Amino acid sequence: MTTQAFEVRGTPDPDRASRVARLRDIGFAWADLEDEAYWLDQIVVMREETYAELEAAAAKLWRVFDKAVRFVHGKRELYERLGIPEILWETLDLLPLPAEGFISRYARFDFAVSGEGAIKLLELNADTPTGYVEAAIATPWLCGQAGIASPNARMAELVAAAWAEERPDTAACVGYGEHLEDSGTIEALVRHSGLNVRCVDCLELWVDEGVLKDGQGAAIRRMFALYPKEWLAVDEGGDALLYAVDSGNLALFNNPHAILLQSKGLQAAIWGLYELNQLYDAEERKAIRRYMLPTYNKAVFQGSFVSKSMFGREGGSVRMFDREGRLEIEDRDGFDTSALFPTVYQKRAELARIATAAGDFHLLTGLFVLNGTPCGMLGRAGGPITGNTSHFIPLGVKERG
């Protein structure tokens, strides 16, 4: 299926098993999950002009979001409106904000790019984005095999630059060694960093007199954690870990302030500042108007809209409403966090449709921002709501000529 912005290339290899094995060898071990095909063996190419605009839009929006965090920082009434758990407020106020553009060094924008190439931001995962292995390892290899240009080649280099600044001694995720995706993600990041970093399970960590320790009792001083910071409010031991941070015994990467970027409530704050003609200059306002969707803390829309938890992930808590305001679609597979965190309401944007050998899908376009630089597309093919049951499909760029 060809549109102005996208084209699906290739046909699935009849020897899928050998391709899956090769992907496992290079670090992508979950191309098939429980006999289900997570990876779709075709490639979506994006028009070169569309990719150039997407990258430029991400750079502009990165500055817009950074500016919003600096406006919100220290205002506890705004922390509350953004759904930031109160347990984190002291830490956010105590720690200095990172340098401009580096509140998060490991983030991913998710865009709705229409078939015609119109770009609208859906959300920003600035704390614990997954999909790194798919984007940084699988996509360049698959595109290279097909002779298609990939803009993802710089991802490893930018990860190395980010980790050279943060220099973690430990990388952690929940279920390390058991959860394929999270374990493979931190292992790939460690490998690309070039540093001597040990990988551990979050569930084995404990705090001893303000010092975080691993399962063998070794102290951890600087840690990259693929662990959503909002869960510190509900997990046993969250206050102890934050005490280690507040005491100066532990540095977290991404920085705790990344939770301000992560909250979907920040998009409502940005839109409100835009409507009030505050904070942003003319160029920033132009970017907001062109690439962001009206987002509010209340359902005030005339026409179709989406509601979602400020800290929902993988489609969990997303509900889509039609032009009459009636519930049309909701995600029933992801974990619904709307009982734990406030809800935002956003104007609805339609995803491009693609026809693949496995069926017709909606296409979600992710774009990583690593060490402050937009790079690395992640393609997800699924339903109108991109959730846990969606597929990975590599995204490349269709060069002119």
Output the CA–CA distances (angstroms, integers) from residue 26 to 142, 243, 383, 396, in the order listed.
11, 39, 29, 19
Measure the CA–CA gap between 114 and 158, rounded to whole angstroms.
28
Q: Is 70 exceeded by the pLDDT of residue 22?
A: yes
- pTM tops 0.75: yes
Q: Is residue 293 classed as helix, strand or coil in its secondary structure?
A: coil
Measure the CA–CA gap between 352 and 118, rounded to whole angstroms.
10
DSSP 124-175: EE-S----HHIIIIIHHHHHHHHT-B-GGGGHHHHHHHHHHHH--SEEEETT
Q: Is residue 376 classed as helix, strand or coil in its secondary structure?
A: strand
Measure the CA–CA gap between 171 and 187, rounded to whole angstroms.
8
Q: What does the domain layout of the chain look like in residue ranges?
A: 6-150+259-263+352-398
Q: What's residue 1's pLDDT?
A: 44
Q: What's residue 325's pLDDT?
A: 81
Measure the CA–CA gap between 21 and 32, rounded to whole angstroms.
10
Share of the chain above pLDDT 70, in %: 96
Q: What is the pLDDT of residues 29-63, one digit of tens each?
A: 999 988 899 999 999 999 999 999 999 999 999 99
Measure the CA–CA gap between 376 and 370, rounded to whole angstroms.
9
Q: What's residue 328's pLDDT?
A: 81
